[in-house]
Amino acid sequence: MLHIVNKSPLENTALESCLNLAGAGDVLLIEDAVYAATVGNSFEPTLRAALGKVKIYALQPDLDARGMGDRLVAGVTAVDYSGFVDLTTSNKNCQSWL
């Protein structure tokens, strides 16, 4: 399953809930959720711990738009819009976390 999160973990609990409930699968961070995938934020330890059970992706254009393109946590994979489409087609189901 592809889990899509668009809210910053510093302002919303959607990503935390997603990581707690997702047993496996892919997690795609878009919009303000990409802040979670950057080195030095307070959510970084939680994200690193989740990397053992889910594959985490961050949308590169959203990282770049926020000036965070070069601060990606090791283990998180940056994807472009084409990669976003690939993730949606390679997963049987998608769940958006609001």
Per-position DSSP letters for the chain, written without gaps between them: -EEEE-S-TTT-SHHHHHHHH--SSEEEE-GGGGGGGBTTSTTHHHHHHHTTTSEEEEEHHHHHHTT-TT-BPTTPEEE-HHHHHHHHHHSS-EEEE-
Q: Please, what CATH class does the domain formed by 2-97 belong to?
A: alpha beta
Please compute the mean of the pLDDT values over residues 84-98 and round it to a whole number: 96
Determine the longest span between alpha carbons in the chain, in angstroms.
Answer: 33
pLDDT at 62: 98
pLDDT at 23: 84
> Where along the chain do its domains lie?
2-97
Please compute the mean of the pLDDT values over residues 37-44 and round it to a whole number: 94
Please compute the mean of the pLDDT values over residues 1-29 and round it to a whole number: 95
Burial letters 43-59, b for 16+ CB under 10 A, else e: beeebeebeeebbbbbb
Please compute the mean of the pLDDT values over residues 39-56 and round it to a whole number: 95
Residue holding tokens 């601060």?
A: 71
Please compute the mean of the pLDDT values over residues 43-65 and round it to a whole number: 96
